[in-house]
Amino acid sequence: MNTILEQVARMDSTELNRVVEAVKLRRTFISKESARGLFIGDTVSFESKRGVRVTGTVSKVNSKTVVVDTAGGRWKVTASLLTLAA
């Protein structure tokens, strides 16, 4: 990891843009892959922006995001941030 960070520190703008695009593509792949493993009715959990663990039920699965119904309302969450609850 340190080697990668050192290489990034030496990059020019064009090279950095290529790296940023590669990171975006990888994040998209991970989100879509995670969404494919979730189904309506699954119980999932995630950590909110305030650090609170939220548990709810999947009500809709989009290509990269999932709509989760909870006692506190409806959340649209990136699929890769969800974990299946036991």
Residue 33 sits in a domain of what CATH number? 2.30.30.140
CA dist., res. 59 & res. 33, Å (int): 18
Closest CA to 84 of 35, 31, 26, 44: 44
Rounded average pLDDT over 39-63? 95
Q: What is the mean pLDDT of residues 32-41?
A: 92
pTM of the model: 0.74
* Structural domain harbouring 62: 2-84
Mean pLDDT of the chain: 93
Question: Which pLDDT value is given to residue 72?
Answer: 87
- The rounded percent of the chain whose pLDDT value lies above 90 is 81
Residue 15 pLDDT greater than 70, yes or no? yes
Provide the domain count of the chain. Answer: 1
Which of these, 54, 55, 61, 56, lies nearest to 40 by C-alpha position?
61
